[in-house]
Amino acid sequence: MTDTNTKVNAKARLKLKELGEFRKVLQQASEQFCWAMDFTSFPQIQEWCSKVLDVVEEVQYQVENEFDYIDSRLTDYDFELAQFEAEHEVEVD
């Protein structure tokens, strides 16, 4: 495996980890805004929470898509690398 491939793979795995952490933060934000909407009697606050929740949910959707894409590409990469190493009898450090 080349140095460039190793760096790209490491960056992709780091990005995947960061996206996973960001997903948790977004989920917590979503739960907090749902809670605030349920327990406030002020229509303005409910409306504001609803708008913020819509944005949070859209960002969650985008993060999920990016996470799934990177995860899928890494899985493909790992599979192709294993095939290459098997075919060429390459030893991994």
Decide: pTM greater than 0.85: no
Residue 63's contacts (CB-CB under 8 Å, 6 or more residues apart) are: 19, 22, 23, 26
Residue 18: predicted pLDDT:
92
Positions of the chain with pLDDT lower than 50, given as ranges: none
Residue 93: predicted pLDDT:
53
| Amino acid (1-letter code) at residue 23 | R
Residue 22: predicted pLDDT:
92
Residue 2: predicted pLDDT:
61
